[in-house]
Amino acid sequence: MTEQIHESSGTTSHDFLTEQIRALCAEVLTVDVERITPGTRLIGDLEADSLDFAELADRLATQYGIAGIEDTLRAAETVGDVVELVRGAPQLPDIPAQRDASAGT
């Protein structure tokens, strides 16, 4: 099960997703993950540039099945914004399932 439950705080997969995005940002931007919080600014604090945004968008698209995220990602100011973007994005795995369901009718 990929969902983590933290009994002391009652939080669930939202924190798990935040941790995944923090780790991904640390890897792409070659910084220590401990420097990254949801409030960390991508440009101001982590000095992300256009190539970093492109790589991050590619990795998010691959890992989470999100299409066309690059333009929206450029508007994200913080790591928390990226987490919210991923949470709210339509994901590609749902599209084939919808096609299969409609093909049977």
**Could you list the residue range(s) of the whole structural domain that residue 89 is in?**
13-94
Q: Are 26 and 36 in contact (CB under 8 A)?
A: yes
Total-model pTM: 0.72
Classify residue 7: in a domain, yes or no. Answer: no
Classify residue 71: in a domain, yes or no. Answer: yes
The total number of residues shown for the chain amounts to 105
Other beta carbons within 10 angstroms of residue 101's beta carbon come to 9
Classify residue 100: in a domain, yes or no. Answer: no
- Alpha-carbon distance of 74 to 57, in angstroms, equals 9
Classify residue 3: in a domain, yes or no. Answer: no
Q: How do the pLDDT tens digits run along the chain, 105 residues long? A: 333 333 333 444 568 999 999 999 999 999 999 999 999 999 999 999 999 999 999 999 999 888 888 888 989 999 999 999 999 887 654 434 333 444 454
Counting the structural domains of the chain, the total is 1
Q: Residue 30 to residues 15, 33, 34, 48: CA-CA distances in angstroms? A: 22, 9, 12, 10
Classify residue 53: in a domain, yes or no. Answer: yes
Classify residue 88: in a domain, yes or no. Answer: yes
How high is the pLDDT of residue 21? Answer: 96
Q: The domain spanning residue 58 has which CATH number?
A: 1.10.1200.10
